[in-house]
Structures are given as C-alpha cells and as structure tokens.
Chain A
Amino acid sequence: MTAPVQSHPPLRHAALAAAGIARRNLRTALTTPSLLLPPLIAPLVFFAAFCGGLSVLADAPGFQFTPGYVAFEFVFVVVQGAVFTGIFSGLTLARDFESGMARRALVAVADRRAIVGGYVLTALGRAPVTAAALYLAGLAAGMPAGGVIDMLVLFAVTELLAAIGALWASGIALRIRSVQGAPMMQMPAFLGLYLAPAFVPLGLLTGWLHGAAAVNPFSLYLESGRGLVAGHPVRTAETLAVSAVLIALLTLWALRGLRRATAQAS
C-alpha cells in the first residue's frame, strides 16, 4: 500500500486526519439514534436500577458513605459509562471495517496512527455527554452536587477512562475487523467493573471478590471517584498515574493491531 501525497507537515496532517475521523463519527452518532442512544441510555438504566433496587444496602452494617447510596452508585455508573463509551468507539471502528470505510482510511491517511487517534477522540467527545447526563440524573435523584473542582477532576478521569476503553476496543477491532469482536471488547470490561467494589465499599467485600477487587485497577477509579464526590479526594494522584500507564500500554496494543490491519489490507 503506498502512502498518499502529503500537503501538510506530517504531524499537522495526522492531527487533521484524526480530527476528521472524530468529526465524522460524532456527526454520524448525533444523526443516528441507534448509535447515539444506547451508550447514553444504558448507564442511565443501570443507575436507576441500582439506586432503586439496592439502596437498602446503605442500611447494612458497616456501610458508611455520607453523600448517600445514589452518590455511591453514581461513581460506579459514571466509570462504567465512560469505559463503555470508549468501547462503543472501538465498535464503530469494527463496523467501519465491515463497511469498507476503515480500509479507505488506511489508504488515505499517511500516518495511520491518526486513525486510532480519531476513534479515541470520538470517545473523548462522547464521554462528557454521558457523564453529564448521569450527573443530572444523580442530582435529580437527590445526590449532593459536590465541589466544582472535585467534579471537574472526576470528569477528567472519565475522559481518561474513555480513552482506555477506546484503545482497548480499537485494538480488538483492528485485529478482528468485524463487529463479531464485540463480546471480546465488552466482556473483559464488564467483568473488570463488576469484580470491583460496585455495590458496597471495598472494605465490606470478603473472600475471593475482596482479593480480586484489591488488585483490580477499576477499584482505584471507584475509590478515588467516590472520594471526589464525598469532597475528600483519595488516591487521585495514584489514579492518574495508573491511567497514564494503562494508556501507554493500550496505545502499544492498538498500534500493534493497526500494524496487523495494515499488513492485511496491503
């Protein structure tokens, strides 16, 4: 496959290509309800179900979270929503391989890393919408508003999670090149999220689940997120450092997938 002629400096060309892919994806998502609504509605449904059905857990012995159970679950669904927004972006890439769009992008873009960048940007563009919808739902359900700085940090963390989800799912999409890879994108994230302190604090988990949750990076996101909502930030620096490591590793994962996809297409 020959690289196309460049009319801009390489870095600027890559940035323009990534922005173009993201703009196209976001426009498609905004004008296609079947793409726009599921990533938005699913976390709201989980939020309503967990707050409505499980709020009795706040009465369990040892459960202490001053802002209340709605706020406790808000952090879980906001983390889940961000990760799955990223995964939906990877799923879009898989769908684009099926339709031929991604192969055309492989031919058209000189620095093909911009393709991965474009789908990550798509996730970054969508994640705040999901987080904002969940925040408004939480406020409507009686959750305290929280401090402005704390909430901004929480929203920034959701952006990092969306990037992590998008890089993970893009790596799968670039290897499988079909939406049939969807379970492989979603299942590990689903298991990772629910093997963390999803419904009760880490200290109240026992047995094997406590062991799994203690080493699960999602537990860190939940703990720091809940600290931010409660106005007592905990482990925020650690969360940012782990995010940086995960993003670096998953970038390598996605770029290796890109190399495979390029080799297959040429």
Chain B
Amino acid sequence: MRRSLIQLRWLARRSALRTLRRPAAFYPSLLFPLVLLVITTGGLHLSEHVPGFPATSYFAFALAGAFVQGALVGGVNAGVDLATDMQTGFLNRLSLTPTPRRLVILGELAGAVVLALSQAALYLIIAVASGVRLASGPGGAAVVLALTVLMSLAFSSFGAFLALRTRSSEAVLGTFPLTFVLLLFSSFFMPRALMHRGWFATVAAWNPVSYLIEAVRGLVITGWDTGALARGFAVAGGLAGLAVALTALTLRTRSVAA
C-alpha cells in the first residue's frame, strides 16, 4: 500500500510537471477561460439590465463558466498526455516495471486534478482581486474547489478513456471542439430562465454542463443554493463515476503498452 502511494505520487508529479513544461499546451488552457470571461463580460454586461437577470455584475455571473471550461479543457489535455505517453513508448517502458496498470492511469489523473485545483484557486484569487465577493463566503470557495476536483476527475477520466480506446493524441485532441459545444449550449452565457427560445432551453436543460455551471454560480452570486449544489454534485459525481468505470473497463481489456 505504502509502495503504491509512493508510485502514485511520483506518477502524479511527473504528469503535472510534464504539462507545466509544455507551455504551448498549458498556458492556453489556463488563460483561455479568463480571456473568454473578460471578453464576454465586456460584450454581455448589458444583460445586467435585462429584467430577471440574477446578478448585478455579469463578471460574477460568468465566472462559474471559467471553472467548468478549465476542467473540460484540462480533461482533454489529460487524455492527450496519456495518448502521447502511449505513442512515444513511455508506457511501454513503464509496463516493464512492477507498477500496476491502474496506478499508471491514476497517476495521470491525479496530476490533472492537481493542476485543475491550482487553476481553480488562481481563478478564485483573480475573482476576489477583481472585486467579486462570493455570496457563500470562504466556505463557498472551499466547495467550489471540491466541485472542481470532482469535475476534473470526471473530464480527465473521459480523456483517459478516449486515450485508451484510440491510442492517438490527435483523436483525443479532436474532441476539443466538443467542449465548446457543451459550453455554448448550456447556461454558460445566460441563465436558463432567460432563454427565450424553447429548443435552446431544452438543450441546455439536458446538458449536464449547465448544472455544473449553476452549482458554482449559485455559490458566487446567490449563496448556499442547496438545490443547485445537489444537482451540481450529483452530475459531477455521476459523470466521474461513469468515466472512471469506463476507463477501468477499458483498462481491463487493453494493455497500456503500445
């Protein structure tokens, strides 16, 4: 057990460091949600004056989207990194050591989760520095971080599942536009109550990303909205459970070595 934990720590450390050492991959995923947040706030702040809009600041309203977008993009990156390890033969070499296969994947996932957590902490600091006061207080910030861990685990596991299935970093990277589709057809820009077009409201209601955003958003602009939190944690937990199960099943039938 102790040996497994040591192996896990080293694999997670390598996973996180490898991502940090590839600025071309890491910084866009770190900065892009912030850039989009700033741009959409500039363009959509008029929404604050729309009757029924739930916040006095569009920046505070849109902040939640950055956390979910960061976790989504981080998940794709985790999958790309794992597929790259398979393509370059790193996992081949690792399979010659006594390290169990599940630990190899867990190490990759743990590295991705640590990065997502750091990213979310940075977003919180930037939000507070920009004048956003979390309606749920410091406890709410802790819950945002907890939800980020769960979201990151879910999306990174989906990335790992795709990497194991396809063994191609390009194929995993090809799912990147899907993250945009998931965000655009959710309550990312507007609350569902203000979606005038019925079909769009229906799509957003079926889109799990809406509930993740609304859980974080509730903590930022409303306070302790237990309904939104329960739905957010249920969706994040459900997605994480499904993704981990799919990854575990794939791992049982496929070798991590190329």
Contacts and interface: CB of A to CB of B under 8 A. Distances in A.
Contacts of B190: 53-54, 56
Contacts of A209: 39, 42-43
Contacts of A57: 44, 46-47, 50
11 contacts: A42-B177, A45-B184, A48-B185, A49-B185, A56-B50, A57-B44, A60-B50, A180-B24, A195-B39, A205-B43, A209-B42
Interface in A116-163: none
A197 B39 CA distance: 11
Interface of B: 24, 28, 35, 39-40, 42-47, 49-51, 177, 180-181, 184-185, 188-190, 194-197, 199-200, 203-204
B177 A207 contact: no
Identify the interface centre among B44, B197, B199, B204: most chain A CB within 10 Å of its CB.
Answer: B197
Contact of B44 (A42, A55, A183, A199): A199
A51 interface: yes
A207 B42 contact: yes
Contact of B196 (A48, A56, A191, A194): A56
Contacts of B177: 38, 42
Nearest to B196: A55
B50 A51 contact: no
Interface string A39-83: 000100110110111111101111100000000000000000000
A200 B195 contact: no
A94 interface: no
Contact of B42 (A42, A49, A183, A205): A205
A30 interface: no
A53 B47 CA distance: 12
Identify the interface centre among B39, B43, B204: most chain A CB within 10 Å of its CB.
Answer: B43
B189 A53 contact: yes
A52 B181 contact: no
